[in-house]
Amino acid sequence: MIIAIDGPAGAGKSTVAKAVAKKLGFKCLDTGAMYRAVAWLAVDEGVSLEDDDALGRIARGCTIAFDHVPGDPIPKGISINGHDVTDAIRTTRIDQAVSPVSAAGPVREAMVEQQRRIGHQGDYVIEGRDIGTVVFPEAELKVFLTATDEERAHRRVRQNVDRGVGSISYSEVLADIIRRDEADMNRAHAPLKAADDARIIDSTGTYIEDIIEQICVLAQIAQDGKQAR
């Protein structure tokens, strides 16, 4: 079974996806981390972020691996071509580079292929922007998680502080979130939008535990429906 969780930056997708996966005993795939890893490699190799074909070559030729602690289905880190980039993909530099990289059609084709291959290996909660619309349009449950721009910016600031990259101001984070939403929603390939059959959940002012619980209930209903068919 596939649970697709899409939505804009900072809506709480990662927290929710990991918690739902843990509760249901599913594996978890963060597709944003894959685009970030490709962006890291492009920057590292000095590839122009405007050269879609070169970016596509990088995406097709790279090996992305999620690192697991034995017995834990939630990945602890990510590497690309053997480089551990778990922390390196969360910097402001990569926040900026990932928009053009993820907008490149050849990059998306390569990533979607890998994501489908991974998702077909079992029960997965997959988070991203186009999981319910493009990668797994047949997903048994699709959730589109949103929150106001201000709430998402506040959460990102708290996350940055927790990760030790706390020097970016609230207004800079808010501007970056708005800029990235614009880029994600208006790009030609797989723009960010809710699938017609997605459940739209607004997490503004809501306890994250309640959202996790709501998605687990929806998953159970979807599972029961699947078994009854």
CB of 174 to ligand DC, least distance (A): 15
Cβ pair 55, 103 in contact under 8 A: no
Count Cβ atoms within 10 A of the Cβ of residue 45 and give its class: 0-12 exposed, 13-18 middle, 19 or more buried.
Answer: exposed
| Stretch in the footprint of ligand DC (CB under 6 A) among 18-26, 55-63, 73-81, 127-135 | 127-135
Cβ pair 195, 142 in contact under 8 A: yes
Determine, following the binding rule CB under 6 A, whether residue 75 of this chain makes contact with ligand DC: no
Q: Give all strands (DSSP E) within the chain, no chain letters.
A: 2-6, 27-30, 64-67, 77-80, 83-84, 124-128, 141-146, 199-202
Residue closer to ligand DC, measured from CB, 182 or 224: 182
CB of 9 to ligand DC, least distance (A): 5
Site string for ligand DC, 15-54 (x = CB under 6 A): ----------------xx--xx------------------
What span, in angstroms and rounded, lies between the C-alpha atoms of 192 and 128? 9
Residue closer to ligand DC, measured from CB, 35 or 144: 35
Determine, following the binding rule CB under 6 A, whether residue 9 of this chain makes contact with ligand DC: yes
Residue closer to ligand DC, measured from CB, 188 or 228: 188
Contacts of 174 (CB under 8 A, 6+ apart): 149, 150, 153
Side chain identity at 102, as an amino acid letter? S
Contacts (CB under 6 A) with ligand DC, residues 131-190: 180, 184
Instruction: Report the residue from 20, 41, 100, 129 that binds ligand DC according to the rule CB under 6 A.
Output: 129
Residue closer to ligand DC, measured from CB, 73 or 115: 115
Secondary structure tally for the chain: helices H, strands E: 8, 8
Determine, following the binding rule CB under 6 A, whether residue 195 of this chain makes contact with ligand DC: no
CB of 15 to ligand DC, least distance (A): 12
Give exposure, 83-118, as e/b (b: 16+ Cβ within 10 Å): eebbebbbeeebbebbbbbbbbebbbebbbebbeeb
Determine, following the binding rule CB under 6 A, whether residue 11 of this chain makes contact with ligand DC: no
Instruction: Report the residue from 128, 132, 144, 176 that binds ligand DC according to the rule CB under 6 A.
Output: 128
CB of 21 to ligand DC, least distance (A): 16
Side chain identity at 204, as an amino acid letter? T
Residues that bind ligand DC (CB under 6 A): 9, 31-32, 35-36, 98-99, 102, 128-130, 180, 184
